[in-house]
């Protein structure tokens, strides 16, 4: 049963629940709401994101605030790579532009570890940015949640 301190689906994950967890994470990040997104992480969450290290929920919220001030019109697609017990690995891509109008597609992989209440306690991300033109964009849905009928990474050939 879900409470304010649990975040279903809970580990251990099945293929179905891992896919659901990945989509919920994608939806959260596509909201670009640092407060809301930070609630999916434990108070003492540990992150490595590129060269930045985060060691608690407040630092995660500050990181996300900075991220979405820099990465404008952010749109993300995540895809399950594999899972076991309380761990999930994903691959993802997101598109964004900077304040000068330069577009990028960022590709990455993340390894996640969850506490028994379904909150993410560890997140390790590796990300590469590729400059693209506005015409090369593939993620063109209105800002917010990716529509259910929008292709995922594999269908897009990414």
Side-chain-side CA neighbours of residue 135 (13 Å) = 0
What pTM does this model have?
0.95
Can you give the pLDDT at residue 1?
Answer: 42
* CATH code for the domain defined by 15-136: 3.10.450.50
pLDDT computed for residue 5 by the predictor: 80
Check residue 33 and give left, alpha or beta (phi > 0: left; psi -120 to 50: alpha): beta
Instruction: Kindly report the backbone phi and psi dihedral angles of residue 32, in degrees, each rounded to the nearest multiple of 5, phi listed first.
Output: 55, 35
Domain-by-domain residue ranges, the chain?
15-136
Q: Do 90 and 80 form a contact (C-beta atoms < 8 A)?
A: yes
The pLDDT of residue 3 is above 60: no
Q: What is the dihedral of CA 110, 127, 62, 64, to 10 degrees?
A: -80
| Residue 73: alpha-carbon gap to chain centroid | 15
Predicted local confidence at residue 4, as pLDDT: 58
pLDDT digits (tens, 9 = 90+) for 70-126: 999 999 999 999 999 999 999 999 999 999 999 999 999 999 999 999 999 999 999
What token pair was written down for 70?
């820099």
């Amino acid at each position: 049963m879900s409470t304010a301190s649990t975040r279903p689906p809970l580990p251990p994950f099945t293929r179905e629940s891992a896919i659901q967890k990945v989509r919920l994470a994608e939806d959260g990040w596509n909201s670009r709401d640092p407060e809301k997104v930070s609630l999916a992480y434990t108070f003492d969450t540990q992150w490595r994101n590129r060269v930045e290290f985060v060691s608690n929920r407040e630092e995660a919220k500050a990181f996300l605030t900075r991220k979405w001030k820099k990465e404008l019109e952010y749109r993300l697609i995540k895809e399950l790579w594999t899972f076991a017990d309380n761990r999930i690995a994903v691959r993802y891509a997101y598109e964004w532009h900077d304040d000068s109008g330069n577009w990028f597609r960022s590709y990455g992989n993340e390894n996640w570890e969850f506490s028994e209440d379904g909150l993410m306690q560890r997140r390790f991300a590796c990300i590469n940015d590729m400059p693209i033109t506005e015409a090369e964009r593939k993620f063109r849905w209105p800002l917010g949640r990716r529509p259910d009928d929008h292709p995922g990474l594999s269908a897009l050939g990414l």
